[in-house]
C-alpha cells in the first residue's frame, strides 16, 4: 500500500508541475517542458523506490504527517515556500510565451540548466537519505526519537534540502526559462526560504536536544565564507 500511495503521490506532483508550466503558457506545444516533466517523474520514482527499500519508515512518516500539529506560523511559512516554487515554475512560460522581456537560455547554457536541476534533485534526495527526519514542515518527531544529524552532507550544510530547492528552481529556469524568470524565481524563493528557516531554527533550538551545539559546529558566518556561499548554504 505504501508503494501505491507513493507512486500516485509522485504522479499527482508531476501533474501539478505540468499545470504550473503549461497553464501560464496557454499551449501544449512546449516539448522542453514535457521532457522536464518526464525527467522529473523518472528521477523521483527511482529515488523514492530506493528510499522505500532502504528506509520505508522515513517515507511513511512523511506521508502520514498531521498538519493539525504544525504551528500556525510554520504553516504560513510553508505556504509561502511552496508559493515561491509555483512562481518559480510559472514565471518562465509567462515571459517566454507572452511578455518576451528577456532572452531565454539556449545551447550549452540550457544543458547546464538541466545539470543544475538534476544536482538539485539529487541533493534533496541525499538529504532525505542522510536524515530520516527531514521534512518540508517543522515537526519534532518525538514518537520516532528524533536526533540531530550532523554527519555526511549535514556536516557542511544545515539545510541541504532547501539548498536543493534553490538548485531545482535555478536549473528549471535555465533549462526552460529566461534571464528575467531566473532572477524573479530565485529572489522570491530566497525570501521564502529565509522566512521558513528562521522559524525552523527557532523550533529546533528550543525543542531538539543537541541542535544548539550543532549550530556552533556548522556555521556560514565565517570570515572566509563568501556572500554567494552564505546564500547557497542557507545557514544563518
Give 75-109 pLDDT, tens digit per residue. 787 788 888 888 888 999 999 999 999 999 988 88
- 529556469: which residue's cell? 173
pLDDT in tens, 204-215: 888 888 988 998
All three cell numbers of 114: 538541466
Of 106 and 68, more confident: 106
Position 136 pLDDT exceeds 70:
no
For the chain, give every domain's residue range. 70-233
Nearest to 93 by CA among 154, 36, 48: 36
CATH of 70-233, one of 3.40.50.300, 1.20.120.1630, 1.10.10.920, 1.10.287.470: 1.20.120.1630
- Three-state DSSP at 70 gives coil
pTM: 0.84
Q: How many CA atoms lie within 13 A of 79 on its CB side?
A: 8
What values do phi and psi take at 150, rounded to 5? -130, 20
All three cell numbers of 185: 524565481
Nearest to 235 by CA among 166, 147, 137: 166
CA-angle at 54, arms to 53 and 58, nearest 5°: 100
Amino acid at each position: 500500500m505504501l508503494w501505491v500511495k507513493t507512486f500516485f503521490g509522485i504522479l499527482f506532483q508531476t501533474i501539478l508541475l505540468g499545470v504550473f508550466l503549461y497553464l501560464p503558457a496557454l499551449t501544449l506545444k512546449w516539448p522542453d517542458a514535457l521532457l522536464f516533466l518526464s525527467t522529473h517523474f523518472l528521477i523521483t520514482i527511482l529515488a523514492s523506490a530506493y528510499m522505500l527499500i532502504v528506509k520505508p519508515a522515513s517515507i511513511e512518516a512523511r506521508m502520514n504527517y498531521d498538519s493539525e500539529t504544525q504551528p500556525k506560523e510554520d504553516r504560513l511559512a510553508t505556504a509561502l515556500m511552496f508559493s515561491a516554487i509555483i512562481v518559480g515554475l510559472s514565471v518562465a512560460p509567462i515571459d517566454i510565451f507572452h511578455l518576451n522581456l528577456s532572452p531565454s537560455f539556449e545551447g550549452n547554457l540550457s544543458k547546464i540548466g538541466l545539470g543544475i536541476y538534476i544536482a538539485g534533485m539529487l541533493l534533496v534526495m541525499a538529504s532525505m537519505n542522510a536524515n530520516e527526519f527531514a521534512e518540508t514542515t517543522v515537526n519534532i518527531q518525538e514518537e520516532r526519537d528524533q536526533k540531530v544529524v550532523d554527519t555526511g552532507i549535514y556536516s557542511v550544510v544545515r539545510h541541504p534540502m532547501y539548498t536543493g530547492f534553490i538548485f531545482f528552481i535555478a536549473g528549471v529556469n535555465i533549462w526552460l526559462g529566461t534571464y528575467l524568470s531566473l532572477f524573479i524565481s530565485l529572489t522570491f524563493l530566497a525570501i521564502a526560504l529565509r522566512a521558513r528557516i528562521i522559524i525552523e531554527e527557532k523550533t529546533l533550538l528550543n525543542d531538539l536536544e543537541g541542535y544548539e551545539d550543532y549550530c556552533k559546529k556548522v556555521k556560514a558566518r565565517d570570515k572566509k565564507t563568501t556572500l554567494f556561499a552564505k546564500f547557497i548554504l542557507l545557514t544563518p
